[in-house]
Amino acid sequence: MDEIQRQLLEEVADLHEVPEGAYNIRANGQSTARNTTANIDIVSKEDNSGIDIKIKDGTVKESVHIPVVLSQSGLSEVVYNDFYVGDDCDVTIVAGCGIHNSGDADSQHDGVHRFYIGKNSRVRYVEKHYGGGEGTGKRILNPVTEVYQKENSYCEMEMVQIKGVDSTIRTTKAELEKGATFLVRERLMTHGSQTASSIYEVTLSGEDSSTDVISRSVAKDNSEQIFEASIVGNTACQGHAECDAIIMDKAHVVAVPKLDANHVDAALIHEAAIGKIAGDQLIKLMSLGLTREEAEEQIINGFLR
Protein backbone atom coordinates (compact mmCIF):
# COMPACT_ATOMS: atom_id res chain seq x y z
CA MET A 1 0.00 0.00 0.00
CA ASP A 2 1.45 3.33 -1.08
CA GLU A 3 1.22 6.80 0.44
CA ILE A 4 -1.83 7.84 -1.62
CA GLN A 5 -3.71 4.73 -0.58
CA ARG A 6 -2.77 5.34 3.04
CA GLN A 7 -4.14 8.88 2.80
CA LEU A 8 -7.39 7.61 1.32
CA LEU A 9 -7.67 5.07 4.14
CA GLU A 10 -7.35 7.83 6.66
CA GLU A 11 -10.05 9.91 4.94
CA VAL A 12 -12.64 7.16 4.66
CA ALA A 13 -12.01 5.05 7.72
CA ASP A 14 -10.00 7.26 10.09
CA LEU A 15 -7.34 4.57 9.92
CA HIS A 16 -3.74 5.50 10.61
CA GLU A 17 -2.65 1.92 10.95
CA VAL A 18 -4.13 -1.51 10.66
CA PRO A 19 -7.40 -1.55 12.63
CA GLU A 20 -8.22 -3.76 15.56
CA GLY A 21 -10.66 -6.57 15.07
CA ALA A 22 -11.79 -7.95 11.76
CA TYR A 23 -10.96 -6.11 8.58
CA ASN A 24 -10.68 -6.42 4.85
CA ILE A 25 -8.88 -3.77 2.86
CA ARG A 26 -9.57 -3.64 -0.85
CA ALA A 27 -7.22 -1.62 -3.03
CA ASN A 28 -7.52 -1.24 -6.79
CA GLY A 29 -9.87 -4.18 -7.11
CA GLN A 30 -7.89 -6.63 -4.97
CA SER A 31 -8.12 -7.66 -1.36
CA THR A 32 -4.77 -6.55 0.07
CA ALA A 33 -5.15 -7.28 3.76
CA ARG A 34 -7.57 -9.24 5.88
CA ASN A 35 -8.02 -10.24 9.47
CA THR A 36 -10.73 -12.38 11.00
CA THR A 37 -11.54 -13.04 14.64
CA ALA A 38 -13.01 -15.95 16.55
CA ASN A 39 -16.48 -14.44 16.05
CA ILE A 40 -16.19 -12.63 12.75
CA ASP A 41 -15.32 -14.43 9.57
CA ILE A 42 -14.67 -12.80 6.22
CA VAL A 43 -14.91 -14.98 3.13
CA SER A 44 -14.25 -13.92 -0.44
CA LYS A 45 -17.07 -14.63 -2.83
CA GLU A 46 -16.06 -17.30 -5.28
CA ASP A 47 -16.01 -14.97 -8.25
CA ASN A 48 -14.01 -12.35 -6.33
CA SER A 49 -16.90 -9.88 -6.69
CA GLY A 50 -16.93 -9.14 -2.98
CA ILE A 51 -16.97 -10.65 0.47
CA ASP A 52 -19.31 -12.28 2.95
CA ILE A 53 -18.94 -11.07 6.52
CA LYS A 54 -20.32 -13.60 8.98
CA ILE A 55 -20.81 -12.49 12.56
CA LYS A 56 -21.68 -15.16 15.12
CA ASP A 57 -24.65 -14.96 17.50
CA GLY A 58 -23.76 -13.04 20.65
CA THR A 59 -20.75 -11.16 19.25
CA VAL A 60 -20.44 -7.96 21.25
CA LYS A 61 -18.06 -5.00 21.29
CA GLU A 62 -16.36 -6.06 18.10
CA SER A 63 -15.77 -4.16 14.91
CA VAL A 64 -15.32 -4.79 11.21
CA HIS A 65 -13.49 -2.41 8.90
CA ILE A 66 -13.89 -2.91 5.15
CA PRO A 67 -12.48 0.18 3.45
CA VAL A 68 -11.97 0.38 -0.29
CA VAL A 69 -9.41 2.55 -2.01
CA LEU A 70 -8.97 3.22 -5.70
CA SER A 71 -5.88 5.02 -6.88
CA GLN A 72 -5.71 3.58 -10.38
CA SER A 73 -7.40 5.91 -12.85
CA GLY A 74 -9.98 4.28 -15.11
CA LEU A 75 -10.82 1.41 -12.79
CA SER A 76 -14.52 0.59 -12.59
CA GLU A 77 -15.87 -2.09 -10.28
CA VAL A 78 -19.05 -3.43 -8.72
CA VAL A 79 -18.59 -5.13 -5.36
CA TYR A 80 -21.13 -7.11 -3.37
CA ASN A 81 -20.53 -7.27 0.36
CA ASP A 82 -23.01 -9.23 2.45
CA PHE A 83 -23.16 -8.90 6.21
CA TYR A 84 -24.75 -11.74 8.12
CA VAL A 85 -25.14 -10.49 11.68
CA GLY A 86 -26.35 -13.16 14.11
CA ASP A 87 -28.74 -12.69 17.03
CA ASP A 88 -27.84 -10.68 20.15
CA CYS A 89 -24.82 -8.97 18.62
CA ASP A 90 -23.46 -5.48 19.22
CA VAL A 91 -21.01 -4.54 16.50
CA THR A 92 -19.58 -1.57 14.64
CA ILE A 93 -19.01 -1.79 10.93
CA VAL A 94 -16.88 0.81 9.17
CA ALA A 95 -17.02 0.90 5.39
CA GLY A 96 -16.10 3.67 3.04
CA CYS A 97 -14.51 4.30 -0.28
CA GLY A 98 -11.83 6.71 -1.33
CA ILE A 99 -10.98 7.40 -4.95
CA HIS A 100 -7.80 9.19 -5.96
CA ASN A 101 -7.99 9.89 -9.66
CA SER A 102 -4.97 11.54 -11.19
CA GLY A 103 -5.73 10.46 -14.74
CA ASP A 104 -8.26 11.40 -17.36
CA ALA A 105 -10.33 8.21 -17.28
CA ASP A 106 -13.28 7.89 -14.90
CA SER A 107 -12.86 5.81 -11.75
CA GLN A 108 -15.95 4.17 -10.38
CA HIS A 109 -16.81 2.03 -7.38
CA ASP A 110 -20.32 0.69 -6.95
CA GLY A 111 -20.65 -1.08 -3.62
CA VAL A 112 -23.71 -3.14 -2.91
CA HIS A 113 -23.96 -3.77 0.83
CA ARG A 114 -26.60 -6.11 2.18
CA PHE A 115 -27.21 -6.42 5.90
CA TYR A 116 -29.08 -9.32 7.41
CA ILE A 117 -29.41 -8.34 11.06
CA GLY A 118 -30.50 -10.94 13.61
CA LYS A 119 -32.87 -10.61 16.55
CA ASN A 120 -31.97 -8.14 19.30
CA SER A 121 -28.75 -7.16 17.55
CA ARG A 122 -27.31 -3.67 17.41
CA VAL A 123 -25.31 -2.53 14.43
CA ARG A 124 -23.57 0.78 14.03
CA TYR A 125 -22.50 1.37 10.44
CA VAL A 126 -20.25 4.19 9.29
CA GLU A 127 -19.69 4.85 5.61
CA LYS A 128 -17.53 7.67 4.32
CA HIS A 129 -16.93 8.58 0.72
CA TYR A 130 -14.14 10.74 -0.51
CA GLY A 131 -12.67 11.74 -3.83
CA GLY A 132 -9.30 13.33 -4.55
CA GLY A 133 -6.58 13.61 -7.14
CA GLU A 134 -5.91 16.19 -9.81
CA GLY A 135 -6.98 14.22 -12.86
CA THR A 136 -9.86 15.21 -15.13
CA GLY A 137 -11.37 11.72 -14.89
CA LYS A 138 -14.46 11.58 -12.73
CA ARG A 139 -14.74 10.00 -9.28
CA ILE A 140 -17.99 8.07 -9.28
CA LEU A 141 -19.55 6.22 -6.34
CA ASN A 142 -22.92 4.51 -6.45
CA PRO A 143 -23.51 2.76 -3.15
CA VAL A 144 -26.51 0.50 -2.73
CA THR A 145 -27.39 -0.40 0.84
CA GLU A 146 -30.03 -2.96 1.73
CA VAL A 147 -30.96 -3.67 5.32
CA TYR A 148 -33.16 -6.53 6.54
CA GLN A 149 -33.80 -6.30 10.25
CA LYS A 150 -35.20 -9.07 12.45
CA GLU A 151 -37.20 -8.58 15.64
CA ASN A 152 -36.01 -5.90 18.06
CA SER A 153 -32.84 -5.23 16.14
CA TYR A 154 -31.33 -1.77 15.99
CA CYS A 155 -29.33 -0.33 13.13
CA GLU A 156 -27.77 3.11 13.01
CA MET A 157 -26.11 4.33 9.84
CA GLU A 158 -23.85 7.30 9.46
CA MET A 159 -23.33 8.09 5.80
CA VAL A 160 -20.93 10.86 4.92
CA GLN A 161 -19.78 12.23 1.60
CA ILE A 162 -18.08 15.54 2.07
CA LYS A 163 -15.67 16.06 -0.73
CA GLY A 164 -14.53 15.27 -4.21
CA VAL A 165 -17.11 12.80 -5.49
CA ASP A 166 -18.24 13.93 -8.93
CA SER A 167 -21.28 11.77 -9.33
CA THR A 168 -23.15 9.63 -6.89
CA ILE A 169 -26.44 7.78 -6.71
CA ARG A 170 -26.98 6.55 -3.18
CA THR A 171 -29.77 4.04 -2.74
CA THR A 172 -30.74 2.72 0.67
CA LYS A 173 -33.56 0.30 1.39
CA ALA A 174 -34.59 -1.09 4.74
CA GLU A 175 -37.25 -3.60 5.77
CA LEU A 176 -38.08 -3.84 9.45
CA GLU A 177 -39.67 -6.62 11.44
CA LYS A 178 -41.35 -6.30 14.83
CA GLY A 179 -39.81 -3.80 17.22
CA ALA A 180 -36.86 -3.02 14.95
CA THR A 181 -35.31 0.45 14.71
CA PHE A 182 -33.47 1.98 11.76
CA LEU A 183 -31.69 5.33 12.04
CA VAL A 184 -29.86 7.24 9.36
CA ARG A 185 -27.66 10.31 9.65
CA GLU A 186 -26.58 11.43 6.25
CA ARG A 187 -24.23 14.34 5.56
CA LEU A 188 -23.54 15.38 2.04
CA MET A 189 -21.69 18.19 0.35
CA THR A 190 -21.41 18.83 -3.37
CA HIS A 191 -19.45 21.47 -5.21
CA GLY A 192 -18.30 22.32 -8.71
CA SER A 193 -20.59 20.59 -11.16
CA GLN A 194 -21.07 17.49 -9.01
CA THR A 195 -24.35 15.63 -8.84
CA ALA A 196 -25.70 13.58 -5.96
CA SER A 197 -28.91 11.59 -5.65
CA SER A 198 -29.84 10.12 -2.33
CA ILE A 199 -32.76 7.73 -2.24
CA TYR A 200 -34.18 6.09 0.87
CA GLU A 201 -37.01 3.62 1.11
CA VAL A 202 -37.88 2.31 4.54
CA THR A 203 -40.70 -0.21 4.90
CA LEU A 204 -42.13 -0.62 8.38
CA SER A 205 -43.91 -3.96 8.26
CA GLY A 206 -43.24 -5.12 11.82
CA GLU A 207 -45.40 -3.92 14.69
CA ASP A 208 -43.77 -1.14 16.73
CA SER A 209 -40.91 -0.78 14.28
CA SER A 210 -39.56 2.73 13.83
CA THR A 211 -37.27 4.79 11.66
CA ASP A 212 -35.66 8.19 11.71
CA VAL A 213 -33.90 9.37 8.56
CA ILE A 214 -32.10 12.68 8.83
CA SER A 215 -30.20 14.15 5.92
CA ARG A 216 -28.20 17.34 6.00
CA SER A 217 -26.60 18.64 2.88
CA VAL A 218 -24.79 21.60 1.41
CA ALA A 219 -24.87 22.31 -2.31
CA LYS A 220 -22.28 24.74 -3.62
CA ASP A 221 -21.31 26.18 -7.01
CA ASN A 222 -23.27 24.57 -9.87
CA SER A 223 -23.85 21.27 -8.14
CA GLU A 224 -27.14 19.39 -8.12
CA GLN A 225 -28.71 17.31 -5.37
CA ILE A 226 -31.82 15.18 -5.30
CA PHE A 227 -33.11 13.72 -2.06
CA GLU A 228 -35.93 11.18 -2.07
CA ALA A 229 -37.06 9.52 1.13
CA SER A 230 -40.01 7.20 1.26
CA ILE A 231 -41.40 5.74 4.46
CA VAL A 232 -44.07 3.06 4.16
CA GLY A 233 -46.05 2.19 7.30
CA ASN A 234 -47.88 -1.12 7.02
CA THR A 235 -48.66 -1.60 10.69
CA ALA A 236 -48.48 0.17 14.06
CA CYS A 237 -45.18 1.99 13.59
CA GLN A 238 -43.44 5.33 13.73
CA GLY A 239 -41.51 7.05 10.99
CA HIS A 240 -39.78 10.38 10.74
CA ALA A 241 -37.73 11.83 7.91
CA GLU A 242 -36.01 15.17 7.82
CA CYS A 243 -34.08 16.83 5.05
CA ASP A 244 -32.29 20.11 5.58
CA ALA A 245 -30.26 21.59 2.78
CA ILE A 246 -28.15 24.70 2.49
CA ILE A 247 -28.11 26.03 -1.02
CA MET A 248 -25.28 28.27 -2.23
CA ASP A 249 -24.14 29.95 -5.43
CA LYS A 250 -25.90 28.48 -8.48
CA ALA A 251 -26.71 25.11 -6.97
CA HIS A 252 -29.97 23.22 -7.39
CA VAL A 253 -31.60 21.11 -4.67
CA VAL A 254 -34.71 18.94 -4.97
CA ALA A 255 -36.32 17.17 -2.01
CA VAL A 256 -39.08 14.63 -2.59
CA PRO A 257 -40.09 12.85 0.55
CA LYS A 258 -42.97 10.39 0.53
CA LEU A 259 -45.10 9.15 3.38
CA ASP A 260 -47.27 6.12 2.74
CA ALA A 261 -49.61 5.22 5.62
CA ASN A 262 -51.34 1.87 5.14
CA HIS A 263 -52.49 1.38 8.70
CA VAL A 264 -54.48 3.37 11.24
CA ASP A 265 -51.64 3.07 13.77
CA ALA A 266 -48.90 4.19 11.40
CA ALA A 267 -47.62 7.58 12.56
CA LEU A 268 -45.46 9.20 9.90
CA ILE A 269 -43.89 12.63 9.85
CA HIS A 270 -41.73 14.46 7.40
CA GLU A 271 -39.96 17.79 7.41
CA ALA A 272 -37.86 19.43 4.74
CA ALA A 273 -36.23 22.80 4.46
CA ILE A 274 -34.03 24.27 1.75
CA GLY A 275 -32.48 27.69 2.13
CA LYS A 276 -29.30 29.69 2.18
CA ILE A 277 -27.09 30.42 5.17
CA ALA A 278 -28.89 32.77 7.52
CA GLY A 279 -27.67 36.34 7.08
CA ASP A 280 -27.59 37.13 10.79
CA GLN A 281 -25.35 34.14 11.49
CA LEU A 282 -22.90 35.37 8.85
CA ILE A 283 -22.92 38.92 10.16
CA LYS A 284 -22.31 37.77 13.71
CA LEU A 285 -19.25 35.71 12.74
CA MET A 286 -17.95 38.46 10.45
CA SER A 287 -18.26 40.97 13.29
CA LEU A 288 -15.90 38.70 15.23
CA GLY A 289 -13.26 39.24 12.56
CA LEU A 290 -13.85 36.36 10.14
CA THR A 291 -14.00 36.97 6.41
CA ARG A 292 -17.22 36.09 4.67
CA GLU A 293 -15.65 32.87 3.34
CA GLU A 294 -14.36 31.85 6.76
CA ALA A 295 -17.74 32.56 8.32
CA GLU A 296 -19.52 30.49 5.69
CA GLU A 297 -17.11 27.63 6.16
CA GLN A 298 -17.61 27.64 9.91
CA ILE A 299 -21.39 27.62 9.57
CA ILE A 300 -21.25 24.78 7.04
CA ASN A 301 -18.92 22.73 9.23
CA GLY A 302 -21.27 23.16 12.16
CA PHE A 303 -24.27 22.23 10.03
CA LEU A 304 -22.60 19.07 8.73
CA ARG A 305 -21.07 17.98 12.03
Q: How far apart (Å, rounded) are the C-alpha atoms in residues 284 and 59?
A: 49
Shortest distance (Å) from residue 274 CB to its own copies: 4
Q: How far is the CB of 251 from its own copies (least distance, A)?
A: 7
CB of 23 to its own copies, least distance (A): 41
- In this chain, which stretch among 18-26, 37-45, 141-149, 262-270 interacts with its own copies, using CB under 8 A? 262-270
The angle, 0 to 180 degrees and rounded to 10, between the axes of the packed helices 279-287 and 292-304 is 120
By CB atoms closer than 10 A (0-12, 13-18, 19+), residue 188 is buried
Give the one residue of 144, 183, 214, 248 binding its own copies; rule: CB under 8 A. Answer: 248
Which of residues 192 and 275 has its CB atom nearest to its own copies in the complex? 275
Phi-psi region for residue 3, left (φ > 0), alpha (ψ -120 to 50) or beta?
alpha
Size of the site for its own copies (CB under 8 A): 32
Contact letters for its own copies, residues 263-292 (x by CB under 8 A): xxxxxxxxxxxxxx----------------
Report the nearest approach of its own copies to the CB of residue 169 (Å). Answer: 18
Instruction: Measure the CA–CA gap between 129 and 1, rounded to whole angstroms.
Output: 19
Are the C-beta atoms of residues 147 and 182 closer than 8 Å to each other?
yes
Cβ closer to its own copies: 64 or 268?
A: 268
Structural contact between residues 92 and 72, judged by C-beta atoms closer than 8 angstroms: no
259 binds its own copies (CB under 8 A): yes
Q: How far is the CB of 153 from its own copies (least distance, A)?
A: 25
Backbone angles phi, psi at 170, to 5 degrees: -105, 120
Window 187-246: residues binding its own copies (CB under 8 A): 233, 245
Alpha carbons within 13 A on the beta-carbon side of 147: 30
104 touches its own copies by CB under 8 A: no
Which string of b and e fits 137-168 if b means at least 16 CB within 10 Å?
A: bbbbbbbbbbbbbbbbbbbbbebbbbebbbbb
Under rule CB under 8 A, residue 262 binds its own copies: yes
Q: Of 85 and 229, which has the nearer Cβ to its own copies?
A: 229
Site of interaction with its own copies (CB under 8 A): 233, 245, 247-276
